[in-house]
Amino acid sequence: MDIKCIALDLDRTTLNAAGRLSVGNREALEQAIGRGIHIVVASGRSFYTLPEEIRRFPGIEYAVTGNGAAMYHIPSESCLHRHLLAEEDVLTIMEVTEKDSVTYEAFIDGTAYAGKEYIENPQVFGASSQIAEYVRMTRRPEKDINSFIMENRAKLESIDIIVNDENKKKDIWERVKKRTNNVYITSSTPHLIEISHKNAGKHSGIAYFIDLLGLKKEEVAAFGDADNDVDMLLNAGYGVAMENASKDCKAAADYVTKNHNEDGVAYGLREILQVID
């Protein structure tokens, strides 16, 4: 395969259950970079919550962050392009959910903010133990996250609605969709509804870098595990889902690789795409 660019989701894809880059995946990425293949991070994370070992990885130059809300040049920490939520859509989101038992995360200039109560005990709000540790390490606490969002409504890259109930999640999702068609809605974990501008999405971010690097869609392979990776896999030349991926993610993929705890990215690069030895 003539692959010139690899788009990589991070959590539960490139990173293992401990949230780290394994030796096997590290060596595979080093080999791919050595062969001139561009590596583009494609994450739901905001820029400054990307792991240090990824941001300092020699040769990884670009990142799609916030599910395509902001595209970064990693070494210079400069935002190349972003899609901010419209103020009226922020107001709509807050109005639609004002009577629901939810809390929020807000993303501004690559930084993640959340309510103090959520950061102190994420598992009460439905976060897994692994996600809970990540939240505590990366979120800046706000005593009143609702007021913070309203005060910064013109600056928001994206908003996460945190809801610990599957039926309530579906209900809120549909209510937001009915009130505005100017947003992109997705989800990477069961307790999150992730909302950004309609022109966002990881697929949109990868398309930006395809154009920037002068590539063709057919020269790009993408790896992912969750529903927020579906559009990216469908719009890449080759979509690769992890063995631990969601049903919809696997359905969108051309190939399924090994589990994220079994160096699935390295296996995919070597055995499926055959771009490294």
What local confidence, expressed as pLDDT, does residue 1 receive? 78
Does residue 277 lie within any of the structural domains? no
Is 206 found in the same domain as 191? no
Do 17 and 55 fall into the same domain?
Answer: yes
Residue 78 sits in the same domain as residue 165? no
Q: Residue 186 falls within a domain, yes or no?
A: yes
Exposed e or buried b per residue across 164-178, where buried means at least 16 C-beta atoms within 10 angstroms of its C-beta: beeebbeebbeebee
Q: Are residues 40 and 64 in the same domain?
A: yes
Q: How far is CA 220 from CA 5, 6, 105, in A?
A: 5, 6, 31
| Residue 247's CATH number | 3.40.50.1000
The domain in which residue 101 lies consists of 87-197
Residues 118 and 182 in one domain: yes
- 124 with 164: CB under 8 angstroms? yes
Q: Are 137 and 100 contained in the same domain?
A: yes
Are 84 and 216 spatial neighbours (Cβ–Cβ below 8 Å)? no
The enclosing domain of 139 has a CATH number of: 3.30.1240.10
DSSP, collapsed to helix, strand or coil, labels residue 238 as strand
Diameter of the chain measured on Cα atoms: 55
Pick the closest to residue 60 from 16, 10, 128, 17 (CA basis): 10
Instruction: Answer yes or no: is 223 within a domain.
Output: yes
Q: Does residue 126 belong to any structural domain of this protein?
A: yes
> Within a domain: residue 170?
yes
Rounded CA gap, 119 and 128, in Å? 13
Residues 182 and 222 in one domain: no
Stretches in the chain below the pLDDT threshold 50: none
**Same structural domain for residues 158 and 190?**
yes
Q: What total of structural domains would you count in the chain?
A: 2
The model carries a pTM of: 0.97
For 91, the enclosing helix (H) or strand (E) is helix 87-96
Of 151, 177, 197, the position where a domain reaches its end is 197
For 186-228, how does the pLDDT look when each residue is reduced to its tens digit (9 = 90+)?
999 999 999 999 999 999 999 999 999 999 999 999 999 999 9
